[in-house]
Amino acid sequence: MAIFKGAAVAIVTPMCADGKVNYDKLAEIIEFQIANSTDAIVICGTTGESSTLTHGEHLKTIKFAIDQVNKRVPVIAGTGSNCTETAIMMSKEAASYGADALLLVTPYYNKATQKGLIAHYTAIANAVPETPIIMYNVPSRTGCNIQPATAAALAKNVKNIVGIKAASGDLSQIAKMMSMADGCLELYSGNDDQVLPILSLGGLGVISVLSNVAPKETHDMVMKFMEGDVAGATKIQLDAIPLINALFCEVNPIPVKTAMNLMGMEVGPLRMPLCEMEEANVEVLRKAMKDFGLKLA
């Protein structure tokens, strides 16, 4: 049984003005997501600024989300690290809190070999044998690319490695991987502008930045495709492209937090080294949001 089908939000981590995690606001945006048909919550991923959370904040935020959601939708905890032992520690903790699955980014900066990736993912999986794992391949951020044969081998040989968030942008690589996986790998798009192409290759949904501001539309895009309304799904995908482009005109999550603040969600500032968005880009974002029909405060 799939971890989820549809659109999972890669949810932001709201901050107070002093830079501390704003848990009251996190509760609000989780409720907003669930009320607007989001199919799963991904907590403490890239969009959640996991790289600048302390280990204590990271684990507290994961536990808070799991408790707040209270089994209404799956909660997928980002517990990846470039240190295998750290990833094991975080994964064990998240599993003990009741995370429905874990999202494990490839080791960044180390630039692990394919042999190293197999050892890394296998070690973490063996430490949490009852918790499903989604690998996260985003070489533009990590400098490390899970090759198709590696992903397929891990899915076939490690029982709780069940899925992959594919954010390489390389549809040919993704097609090759799915061909080699022989049905053993749950595929999720990691790029909002490639949801439909990835669904057509056997994808089950998307782990989405766009869902932070347009959860219902992102959910509907996937569901329409799955229900056979390809034209309806395509219209949503294409209509969203200018907004998606604006949400990535600066490094994520700068634009999406800016967009949420423009909508009056008050998710607060970013943590350095991320900084406030360039004003010219804010205007591009504001126009794209209006054109897509989002209500600004």
Catalytic residues: 136, 165
Cβ neighbours for 100, distance < 8 A, ≥ 6 positions apart: 3, 40, 74, 75, 76, 132
